[in-house]
Amino acid sequence: MQLKSQAIQTALVGDWGTAITLNQQILELDPSDIDTLNRLGFAYLSLGNTKDAKNIYERVLALDMKNPIAIRNLKRLHDPKSKKMSISLNNLFIEEPGKTKVIDLLNIADKKVLSYLRCGEMLSVVIKRNKIFALDGENQYIGMLPDDICQRLVKFIKGGNQYEAYVKTSDSNRVCIFIRESKRAKKFINQPSFVSTDKMKLTIEKSSK
Using the predicted structure, report yes or no on whether residue 133 has a pLDDT greater than 90. Answer: yes
Which CATH number is 140's domain given?
A: 3.30.70.2330
- Looking at 86, 114, 132, the residue that finishes a domain is 86
The mean predicted confidence, pLDDT, of the chain is 84
What whole-number distance in Å separates Cα of residue 41 and Cα of residue 18? 13
What pLDDT is stored for residue 171 in this prediction? 77
Do 140 and 203 have their domain in common?
Answer: yes
In this prediction, residue 204 has a pLDDT band, given cuts at 50, 70 and 90, of very low
> Does residue 200 form part of some domain?
yes
What pLDDT is stored for residue 28 in this prediction? 94
Cβ atoms of 143 and 186 within 8 Å: the answer is: no
Q: Tens of pLDDT along 18-47?
A: 999 999 999 999 999 999 999 999 888 878
Half-sphere exposure of 163 (CA within 13 A, CB side): 32
Backbone angles phi, psi at 21, to 5 degrees: -60, -45
Which CATH number is 13's domain given?
A: 1.25.40.10
Domain that holds residue 193: 100-208
Q: Which helix (H) or strand (E) holds 171?
A: strand 162-171
> Does residue 30 form part of some domain?
yes
What pLDDT is stored for residue 201 in this prediction? 46
Contacts of 60 (CB under 8 A, 6+ apart): 34, 37, 38, 41, 67, 69, 70
Of residues 33, 48, 45, 40, the one with CA closest to residue 18: 40
> Does residue 93 form part of some domain?
no
Do 124 and 57 have their domain in common?
Answer: no
In this prediction, residue 55 has a pLDDT band, given cuts at 50, 70 and 90, of very high
- Number of domains making up the chain: 2
> Does residue 7 form part of some domain?
yes
Poorest-confidence range of 23-37, 41-55, 107-121, 183-197?
Answer: 107-121
What pLDDT is stored for residue 89 in this prediction? 52
> Does residue 95 form part of some domain?
no
pTM, two decimals, is 0.64
